[in-house]
């Protein structure tokens, strides 16, 4: 019996090598390296973001093939507003175009869109297309596509604590009754299973303020490949590596 995934005629594992018991339910991805990849190719940084959309499409299609419950993509962090205005403006335009152009794919694949993060700093045109796709896909029952936009883990936790403090002050919650579920139910990701696997492209060894509460027992997988060059074989390789791990959750 093979201890790892088999290989197809090409270089990628076979989807059938990941039976449900060892397959992650929820995969979160830090899509890093777009700008650096573009610069290495002699291209403007924004071209790396444009090429990265193709990788997003591949991940969505493969996640549906694998029957994943959810895939969460770190699209824009709350710290990314510090980047040059030209790059941020392009990211907003790209996001708007993605929500329009990939709407058909989302519907054809039966995916349900979900967005986590702040809304108040996003352009009205982006919000309009976002809400349209959210509404159109609301009744889909396939893989949830979770886009983290203007998202920060500390901001999410601060917001949850503020909600709990208000509930305590109004007498709706007894402080002694506060537990993990009290916090979890007030996070942007309420109702989603915690990620089983966190993939980071671009080779950096940090989690960048992403899903700080939710990844407490998440398996980590990092590749030096930048997001635009992250292929289906790499995605399946990460799933295969996860499937071979023994998760103990602090036990033996």
Q: Which residues are catalytic?
A: 32, 80
With H, G, I as helix, E, B as strand and everything else as coil, classify residue 171: coil
Residue 205 DSSP label: -
**Residue 30 main-chain phi, psi, to 5 deg:** -95, 110
Which structure tokens are listed for 105?
């794919």
Residue 243 host element (H or E) = helix 232-243
Residue with tokens 């093979």: 2
Which structure tokens are listed for 79?
């710290």
Q: Nearest 5 degrees, angle CA 60-CA 63-CA 68? A: 135
Residue 48 DSSP label: H
Residue with tokens 């940084």: 45
Tell me the C-alpha distance between 165 and 7, whole Å: 53
With H, G, I as helix, E, B as strand and everything else as coil, classify residue 219: strand
């Amino acid at each position: 019996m093979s201890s790892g995934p088999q290989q197809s005629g090409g270089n990628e594992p076979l989807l059938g090598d990941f039976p449900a018991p060892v397959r992650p339910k929820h995969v979160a991805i830090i899509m890093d390296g777009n700008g650096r990849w573009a610069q290495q190719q002699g291209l403007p940084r924004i071209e790396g973001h444009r090429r990265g959309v193709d990788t997003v499409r591949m991940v969505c299609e493969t996640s549906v093939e694998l029957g994943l419950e959810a895939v969460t993509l770190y699209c824009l962090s709350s710290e990314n507003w510090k980047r040059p205005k030209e790059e941020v403006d392009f990211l907003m335009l790209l996001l708007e175009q993605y929500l329009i152009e990939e709407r058909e794919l989302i519907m054809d694949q039966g995916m349900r869109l979900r967005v986590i993060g702040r809304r108040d700093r996003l352009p009205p045109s982006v919000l309009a297309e976002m809400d349209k796709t959210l509404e159109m896909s609301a009744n889909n029952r396939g893989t949830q596509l979770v886009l983290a936009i203007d998202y920060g883990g500390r901001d999410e936790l601060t917001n949850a604590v503020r909600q709990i403090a208000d509930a305590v002050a109004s007498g709706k919650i007894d402080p002694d009754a506060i537990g993990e579920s009290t916090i979890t139910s007030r996070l942007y990701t309420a109702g989603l299973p915690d990620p089983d696997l966190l993939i980071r492209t671009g080779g950096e060894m940090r989690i960048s303020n992403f899903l700080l509460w939710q990844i407490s027992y998440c398996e980590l997988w990092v590749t030096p490949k930048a997001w635009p060059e992250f292929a289906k074989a790499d995605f399946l390789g990460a799933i295969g590596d996860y499937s071979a791990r023994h998760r103990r959750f602090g036990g033996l």
